[in-house]
Structures are given as C-alpha cells and as structure tokens.
Amino acid sequence: MAVYNRIYCDACKKEHNVHNDSLKEISCLRCGRIIPIKNHKNYFIEYYAENRRKREKIGPSRSLAETVLQKRLVEIAENKHLDVKKNVKIRFAEFSDQFWSFIQNRIINLGENLICIILTRLRVLLAAGIFMRSTNRWLKDLKPNG
C-alpha cells in the first residue's frame, strides 16, 4: 500500500514512481537524464485487493491520495469493494443462444396469431416480388433490340 508521485522522462518516456516528496529531481534509470519533479504532481495510490495489485490516479493532492487509500483499505476490510458492478463482457455465441431461447419463448406464448400474421405478410411480399419480376420481364420484352 503506497502513495506516490509518478513522473515520466521526457526523452525516453519511462515512468518513475517517487515516494519521497522532498526530492527535487531524479535521474532516469533508462537514459540517465535528470528529471525535475516540481512540474509533475500526479499522485497515485497502490493497494492489493483479491490478490491483485490495483492502482488509481488521484490527482495533485497528497493528502487526498492518503485519504482515498485509507478509504479503499477500509472497503477491502469490510468486503465492500466487491459491491461495485462491472460491465460483464459476453461473447456473441452466448448472447445469441440466450436471445434465441428468449424469442422462442415469446413466439410460443404469442401462439398461432403471430404465425398467421407473419405468413400473411410473407405472402404479400412474395406476391409483390413475383409481380415486380413479371413486370420487369414485360418491360424488357417491350424494348427494341439494338
């Protein structure tokens, strides 16, 4: 569990976690450049929940970050961090199976009236399609060749 300031090297973009606020600058571990800390003030908190490390960006206030960290630790101790609902990702195959079973139940509940309505509309569409095809053939026959 920690509160730290995360800064980035301008040259190589490596991130560094600074736990000591009294430091004015640090040297980059990758490229060796000196990075001033005064311009970078974004505090993060880090804690463990359910055997996973969690990080959250809090903002420019260290005291707020410490308060939020204590709040998260209390939530973990009371098992309230589990109450947050996540958007569950579902695969298309699972969704289509659930949807098809739902639709089948609805069709069975609606009964024969729905099937009769669908068949009537389908007959109208088929008749209209046949009429259009025959009309197109008749118009082609009227056109002179050449």
Mean pLDDT of 40-45: 81
Mean pLDDT of 82-109: 73
Mutual orientation of helices 112-142 and 92-110 as an angle, nearest 10°? 100
Task: Using pLDDT thresholds of 50, 70 and 90, give the confidence band for residue 146.
Answer: very low
**Average predicted confidence (pLDDT) for the chain:** 76
Sign for the CA dihedral angle at 138, 142, 145, 146 comes to negative
Mean pLDDT of 84-94: 73
Between 54 and 114, the more confident residue is 54
In the chain, what is the straight-line distance between the N-terminal and C-terminal CA atoms, in Å? 86
Backbone angles phi, psi at 65, to 5 degrees: -65, -40
Nearest to 41, CA basis, from 20, 53, 59, 23: 59
User: Are 1 and 55 in contact, with CB atoms under 8 Å apart?
Assistant: no
- Whether this prediction's pTM lies above 0.75 is answered by no
Cα–Cα distance measured from residue 26 to residue 19, given in angstroms and rounded to the nearest whole number = 12
Q: What angle do CA 120, 123, 129 make, to 5 degrees?
A: 145
Q: How far is residue 62 from each of residues 1, 25, 58, measured CA to CA in Å?
A: 14, 18, 9
Tell me: pLDDT of 50 over 70.
Answer: yes
Model pLDDT for residues 74-84, shown as the tens digit of each residue: 888 887 766 66
